[in-house]
Amino acid sequence: MTINSILEKTKNVRVVAVSKYVGIGEIQALSKYGFTEFGENKVQDLARKCEALRGQNLSWHFIGTLQSNKINLLLRQKPILWQSCNSLALAKAVNQRLSYTLDTLIEVNSANEASKSGLNADEAVDAYLQIQQECRNLRLCGVMSIGAHSENELEIAKSFEKTHKIYENLQKHGAKLCSMGMSGDFELAIKCGANMVRLGSVLFGALKNGV
Ligand SMILES: *Cc1c(COP(=O)(O)O)cnc(C)c1O
């Protein structure tokens, strides 16, 4: 895929460029194509890249597992969105350390895979409402999910549809973002209602190959 074809396919959704595999140079190169939102799954990497690129009008998403000893380092970077809030306990720990309002998504493990973190689909709505009520420094904005780890497109679609259902249920409680779809399945995710996709390898691969 080329950058232009990715831009065309994602023209109606928000794209987060996942830069976890690349360095500062590639991030700067990609930003020339108009990408301004970047995502990292390790707090130290986010902090390092965010600091190195300060002043360039980029914003940062945290999409990984958050260990409690990294919370302060993350919050110092003022990420635009924390996409991977996966428990009430973690939400409370972050809430307690916040001195500003942090936009946050709950991570849902819609495929119910043991290898994945995230709230189970059947507990997601209740957890969302409880976090909303108890964590006043978090502004819950919706849901994030990773599609089923499968070769079977139907299985993947099923997991996206499940996440999208949860998102729809939460819209009356202020949810606006449905973040799902990565390099291998973003077109399917968009068909299933994603309005935010997180693209790493497909995007930086395209960058290497030119427009
Ligand atoms: C790495 C990662 C992505 C991007 O993965 P690609 O397959 O390279 O597009 C998206 N979301 C999360 C949570 C990730 O960890």
The atom of ligand 1 lying closest to the CA of 41 is 15
Which amino acid makes up residue 203? L
Note the pLDDT of residue 116: 86
Four-residue CA torsion sign, 66, 10, 3, 28: negative
Q: Who contacts 68 (Cβ-Cβ below 8 Å, separation ≥6)?
A: 90, 93
Note the pLDDT of residue 114: 86
In tens, the pLDDT along 33-73 reads 999 999 999 999 999 999 999 999 999 999 999 999 999 99
Within 6 A (CB) of ligand 1 lie 18, 20, 41, 63, 146, 182-184, 198-202
Quote the ligand 1 centre to 201 CA distance (angstroms): 8
Note the pLDDT of residue 75: 98
Note the pLDDT of residue 62: 98
Q: Which of 17-26, 48-57, 106-115 has the lowest mean pLDDT?
A: 106-115
Q: Which of 38, 82, 198 to mutate to test the pocket of ligand 1 (most atoms within 8 A of CB)?
A: 198
